[in-house]
Amino acid sequence: MLDLTQLRADTPGADELIHFNNAGASLMPRVVLETVIGHLQREAVLGGYEAAAAASQRLENVYASVARLLNVRPDEIAVVENATRAWDMAFYSLPLRTGDVILTSATEYAGNYIPYLQLQRQRGIEVRIVPNDAAGQVSVQALQAMLADPRVLLISLPIIATNGGPVQPVEVIGTLARAAGVWFLLDACQGVGHLPIDVQKIGCHILSATSRKYLRGPRGVGFLYVERELCAQLEPAFLDLHAATLQTPTHFEIRPGARRFENWECNVAAKLGLGAAVDYALTIGIAPMWARIRRLAEDLRTRLAHIHGVSVCDTGAIKSGIVTFTLDACSAQAVERALAMQTRRINVSRTTVRSTMLDMQARGLQEMVRVSIHAYNSEDEIDALVDAVKSFAREMADVR
Ligand SMILES: Cc1ncc(COP(=O)(O)O)c(C=O)c1O
């Protein structure tokens, strides 16, 4: 059972404003904030390298915590700057060549889709989009049929898109990938801390994620999981003296484990903060948080749908905590600004065709208001948001 009062007391920002931008960057719990600041203070008085040496066991523990979060082994984890760098390091290391095929979803993030196009141009690989089923998620039947082509080497898609939509059926996708003998790269950037993610159940070979979103860690840090057996075969696209060791002037050895995807310099305070965020989420319980997030999001969708001029845009058999909508004749930016006004202080964000082009174009959308709910958000905050959207919609209708 979640204790909402405690969750909010743990969150310094919860008293300051109403934050529904958890898919952008969530509000850090106090323990995360104190971990980051504490380390920065030690750097200031001990020296950066000396502070890191003093924190060496705690830094090791970060890998164990992330491994526990995903149900994998600590040597299968690399901690890097963000989800994009994590994803890139794995993707660009895969031996994809002319004629090889990648399958992805229409909900793919532009930051991942652009590298597909780059490899298409550079190496002659081919990208194919798995069509959606009637509910709006990846069609399992279509995926199965597409996997019959032996040129398919990789399935790569996000569990939850940056613009919301369905929670993809990743366990079924993973089973199909394993049966077909193709790699499965899961972008769990919007998934970690949002809903339970068990790599043993999903069966993905690679997973990338970030700290600052639903995990509620600091900015500027993310992580990568690469299955041990695959990792041993992958040569990172970039190497440095942390990822590899110079043995002689003509010979180097790549280090074992997923840390071959890291580089030497990092934000140590942020890395410790990531560990604190993971430990906090695991202590609270991700399954109960997911149940609450879904309940709040469903309630919000129902209530927004009753407001004149509002169209709720979410699709999928299982919907996430990201609620998207448009307001007639009004830009998403105008809604975002109106809600952020000093009297309301409600943070939402806007998601545009630039981030998820295939999905948005297929639905005839240029942009949407994105309300991303976390477990620490209260029922009162949902009420305040609904009232604010209602009154803004009325103001806009009066102007017209
Ligand atoms: C689905 C998805 N993948 C990847 C990313 C990139 O994450 P980062 O900004 O940490 O690199 C985002 C960021 O919004 C995202 O929503």
Distance 256 CA to ligand 1 centre (A): 27
Whether this model's pTM surpasses 0.85: yes
Average pLDDT rounded to a whole number, residues 74-86: 98
**How far apart are the C-alpha atoms of 196 and 215, rounded to whole Å?**
11
Nearest CA to ligand 1 atom 16: 162
Which pLDDT band holds residue 397 (cuts at 50, 70, 90)?
Answer: confident
Q: pLDDT tens for residues 256-283? A: 999 999 999 999 999 999 999 999 999 9
Q: pLDDT tens for residues 299-340? A: 999 999 999 999 999 999 999 999 999 999 899 999 999 999
pLDDT of residue 398: 82
Distance 82 CA to ligand 1 centre (A): 8
* Atom in ligand 1 nearest the alpha carbon of residue 84: 11
Distance 200 CA to ligand 1 centre (A): 23
Which pLDDT band holds residue 399 (cuts at 50, 70, 90)?
Answer: confident
Distance 84 CA to ligand 1 centre (A): 6
Distance 209 CA to ligand 1 centre (A): 8
Average pLDDT rounded to a whole number, residues 158-184: 97
Q: pLDDT tens for residues 88-122? A: 999 999 999 999 999 999 999 999 999 999 999 99
Greater confidence, 397 or 54?
54
pLDDT of residue 335: 96
pLDDT of residue 88: 98
Low-confidence winner among 68-77, 144-153, 259-268, 388-397 (lowest mean pLDDT): 388-397
pLDDT of residue 329: 85
* Atom in ligand 1 nearest the alpha carbon of residue 86: 11
Q: Which residues line ligand 1 (CB under 6 A)?
A: 82-84, 109, 111, 158, 161-162, 187, 189-190, 210, 222
Is residue 125 within 8 A of residue 305, CB to CB? The reply is no
Whether the per-residue pLDDT at 400 is higher than 80: the answer is no
Quick one: how far is CA 21 from the chain centroid?
A: 13
Which pLDDT band holds residue 396 (cuts at 50, 70, 90)?
Answer: confident
49 contact partners, CB below 8 Å, separation of at least 6 = none
* Atom in ligand 1 nearest the alpha carbon of residue 222: 10
Nearest CA to ligand 1 atom 4: 189
pLDDT of residue 147: 98
Best mutation site among 79, 81, 84 for ligand 1, i.e. most ligand atoms within 8 A of its Cβ? 84
* Atom in ligand 1 nearest the alpha carbon of residue 85: 11
Which 3-state string (H, E, C) describes the chain?
A: CCCHHHHHHCCHHHHCCEECECCCCCCCCHHHHHHHHHHHHHHHHHCHHHHHHHCHHHHHHHHHHHHHHHCCCHHHEEEECCHHHHHHHHHCCCCCCCCCEEEEECCCCHHHHHHHHHHHHHHCCEEEEECECCCCCECHHHHHHHCCCCCEEEEEEECCECCECECCCHHHHHHHHHHHCCEEEEECCCCCCCCCCCHHHHCCCEEEEECCCCCCCCCCCEEEEECHHHHHHCCCCCCCCCCEEEEECCEEEECCCHHHHCCCCCCHHHHHHHHHHHHHHHHHCHHHHHHHHHHHHHHHHHHHHCCCCEEECCCCCCECCEEEEEECCECHHHHHHHHHCCCCCEECEEEECCCCHHHHHHCCCCEEEEEECCCCCCHHHHHHHHHHHHHHHHHHHHHC
Distance 393 CA to ligand 1 centre (A): 31
Distance 237 CA to ligand 1 centre (A): 20
State what percent of residues in the chain have pLDDT above 70.
Answer: 100
State what percent of residues in the chain have pLDDT above 90.
Answer: 97
Mean pLDDT score across all residues of the chain? 97
Best mutation site among 87, 197, 210 for ligand 1, i.e. most ligand atoms within 8 A of its Cβ? 210
Best mutation site among 157, 159, 189, 352 for ligand 1, i.e. most ligand atoms within 8 A of its Cβ? 189
